[in-house]
Structure 1
């Protein structure tokens, strides 16, 4: 096959673009970019290739390419394709599809500040990425105390609207009620954006100006509010370490690698202060340190990062010149520095130390997870270590809106892309056994069908949604629930899959239909803690699914009562507005833009949800 690929490489155009090596099943093995495709790809077939190139050519069956206008476009496309396909032989940022951001909808009259995972709004500003969603929520809560903002959707101000709790506890200025001047609100949001950018001196100057303005207008309560915000901000500044003698902005990057694991760390220095650190895991594959650093810089600053410093401090120069890529994304020149002495060298050493610390922590956590799996196999008498564990739970409200879920842990960690939801038919009364029986029959019947399709060549492993099979099945419940699962698995021919039930409170493990002989693991056992995590994750996932289903059923029943809303419009509204709260906050124009809706129907929906509010306010008057 290498000869066919080599023949195709010789016919590639001598233009900039991106090339993709694929295996026989169409999976992307490697993505690369080149200023001249023909010359770059032909170099793969020279004598004595590197081990990495040799591995790629041994597996590759296809060679695709995409032409671009210039090398910068090729760099951007390469980074996006790596993020999309996550090829085996590229350095890939782990979980880069779901890094959280703070989103500020600056295109609106009264901008909102939101948690976001996708940067799909060109009119909004994004800050991040953050590596922990908890850090985003903590930042949002802190920002509400310094710069109260709105987060609700819909058109503001809204007629006859009542302010929410955030307004009453001074966490929102209440633009929905018209209680705040648009210019004043806009200045508040601009200060918030400056804070997120690390421009603390500018924020302090703005707050001081607002305080003096309020004092001149004899609005002493408002002046005291700005004074309190200034004190809170100065307290934040005292806690931040000054690392540069000048008020300059720079990012300090370092990478650490051990085996196939790697960690990148970015220290964020703004106005001479160390304002934050982001630690990102990488799949190192066979990359050397310079290649590892280059690929990280391309993906992080080429696709993911939302802000760019004027200076980038690195341990070594990257393999490729990325300045044009960064200029195209940032709009300004980004200077690359490899310091040999001084405070920037000290910062680089600090970044390296943090990268190794993060990598060692990840390695230790991985070893602990492996040890807990080995201990679990011994405690349960399993034939092999349960690398893949599936947890099941059922949720309903006295038989109403029953649902079931499947969560998956791989190597002791949640594998969320493998989670599955099962909407069940209501029986009119609580029946967990029936719900579990239906769930296991659906899940493992699909697995059997996929096994047959794989054997016949009608399905590739990457297309299978219910394979591979688990090494251990855990049911939230006791011996009865585990027994139902065992019966269905035996019925479908999965005799060797071990099944256990983990009961709440008692924390005992039950074999199917053996309530009198539970397995009791020590309370501090890592194996028990792992099973509890699986059980609790299944419970959390099931409750969330059940709650959303109940909300949708309630919303469906309410919408069906509105004149002019038939089945087609009902389905369109449910797709556009996932909850009653979101639909209630929508304005007439927003409702009218839903496919299939028109203005009279939109006005009918708006009146249905808002006439009650007007009547309530009239009664109170």
Structure 2
């Protein structure tokens, strides 16, 4: 197909030499590439020289127009380029796929008895934030360690305000019971201060204080308290040995890239206040001929702009625009930020370790992709498909005796689960327990979008069920005008044993069973199990939300204000369900008769 001719000579004559951002757009209006330049005329002109690699030549051949935004400075252009790349996702840019918000530990310092909690997203609350942590798991692990060392409360404010006796956390010595006055504000404040010092990486200072207190308690013959201090010191020493980076005392990230062909892995190790918080792997989408420096440059730009930045970033490759990035990140952080690549001693050892981790992670990912390719080839042969399937979907239904019915749709491609395309459907207006009607509703909602071109049509549609389900699904798809996909029913065998699944294909009279060691069967099991997991999770969430809402809402005389008052007084629905009639009637606005109705709503369900 002939591309629209782009008169670059005429366009270049109109270009300014000022800094800015340029967008290369094809004839369909899709953005091919976004770039920034200190000198727009000089940078854009370089794309129309003869010494271009093959990939750039292909991209330039598709240009129908170039859009330009002039900025005051190159730093401003860098920020705008980062925003446009994230929003437009151009085909020829290096794209960082994982851009989720990172978790923090939050301390509510404006409270008499501050609480520690897990936080993700915008940092709006008054208090202190510690992190970011590489994952939710590492954040919760740190919170568990803190509970064992310093019994600072981690409960919600509504739960804290409405306690009349200490909860289980106090009984197992994970909280000091401030909700019912079992600890003075001064003693509680000392625990909070020690927790803060620990999170700041000042463990040695905490240990020194605890040693002094242990000796004082021992001198006063308070051996029980001395033993508590001794145990805290012992645990702190062990954590210190396990988590601290020798010779480091500040905040820094260690970033290492491993690249093979068109695949890349970037490992980031997070060091905060000298503590190793763990690492995280990133797999950006990269052009095959992109250099290591180009990939790292794009990663640093997309990852660190618009998020908290450490004092130093150590890379395993030198960046051409190191000075510009340091300037922009320093302005963002309102302090000096350094980017280093040539390091010695302990830092060099950690950088080498990060690079080794990146290479291992990339190898594991490539091996997994090779395994996925083998499974897809086996599936093609088993189902006698004309080509290797590129997109597969699976539906499943989950409910409890017809309550809160949910349908799930999971999607797999040649790389495995495509979670961004997963969907769940809350099923309404059907006979409770009618799985056929639930499936029909889910299919209609999903494949109407396919007909509109909003969602790609899969090559294979898996259904958790047998011949009856396959027939019903086929009929529904015909009504929707959907054709051209392979329909496969996956039913458990006679003994419901894994490995004996029966496969039903539309048009075949009898089902067939693949060998238990078949790669094709393993892929089908993985897709079916993922659909089942996703459906059950969605159903449980919906059922829990429904029950929490409906128990009180179904009682005449319980409006929003009374519901709110009850929830506050008992600290939640679970505590209210355990309360007796007399306890419920003590709440303002709740008569004895109404308390009896509330009590029976929770207990007379048989």
Same fold judged by TM-score > 0.5? yes
Structure 1 position 366 matched with structure 2 position 369: yes
- Distance, in Å, in 2 between the alignment partners of 1:440 and 1:527 is 25
- Distance, in Å, in 1 between the alignment partners of 2:73 and 2:246 is 39
User: 1:539: which partner in 2?
Assistant: 532
User: 1:255: which partner in 2?
Assistant: 257
Structure 1 position 520 matched with structure 2 position 485: no
Contact 1:402/1:426 (8 A) holds in 2: no
What are the within-5 Å matches in structure 2 for residues 54-65 of structure 1? 54-65=57-68
446, 455, 467: which one aligns with 1:443? 446
**1:390 positional shift:** 0.9
CA change 1:422–1:255 in 2 (3 A) is same
User: 1:492: which partner in 2?
Assistant: 480
**1:361 positional shift:** 1.4
- Distance, in Å, in 2 between the alignment partners of 1:7 and 1:180 is 78
What are the within-5 Å matches in structure 2 for residues 381-530 of structure 1? 381-448=384-451, 450-451=452-453, 464=454, 467-504=455-492, 505-507=496-498, 508-511=501-504, 517-530=510-523
- Distance, in Å, in 1 between the alignment partners of 2:9 and 2:159 is 62
Structure 1 gap ranges (5+): 452-463, 587-604, 617-621
What are the within-5 Å matches in structure 2 for residues 164-313 of structure 1? 164-177=167-180, 179-181=182-184, 185=188, 188-189=191-192, 191-205=194-208, 207-208=210-211, 221=224, 223-239=226-242, 244=247, 250-268=252-270, 276-285=278-287, 286-304=289-307, 306-310=308-312, 312=314
User: 1:455: which partner in 2?
Assistant: none
- Distance, in Å, in 2 between the alignment partners of 1:381 and 1:514 is 13
- Distance, in Å, in 1 between the alignment partners of 2:178 and 2:537 is 31
Aligned residues: 568
User: 1:92: which partner in 2?
Assistant: 95
Moved more, 98-107 or 292-301: 98-107
Moved more, 52-61 or 412-421: 52-61
**1:363 positional shift:** 0.9
**1:193 positional shift:** 5.0
| Cα deviation code 1:286-325 (max 9, x no counterpart) | 4211111222222333345x45144635432443422112
Contact 2:163/2:179 (8 A) holds in 1: no
SS where residue 511 of structure 1 aligns? strand
| Cα deviation code 1:8-36 (max 9, x no counterpart) | 66556665544433445554433333345
- Distance, in Å, in 1 between the alignment partners of 2:515 and 2:77 is 56
**1:262 positional shift:** 0.7
Contact 1:207/1:230 (8 A) holds in 2: yes
- Distance, in Å, in 2 between the alignment partners of 1:434 and 1:382 is 30
**1:433 positional shift:** 1.6
Contact 1:370/1:411 (8 A) holds in 2: yes
User: 2:131: which partner in 1?
Assistant: 127
349, 355, 364: which one aligns with 2:352? 349
- Distance, in Å, in 2 between the alignment partners of 1:140 and 1:241 is 17
User: 2:85: which partner in 1?
Assistant: 82
Instruction: Decide which structure has the larger Cα Rg and report it.
Output: 2
Contact 1:392/1:475 (8 A) holds in 2: yes
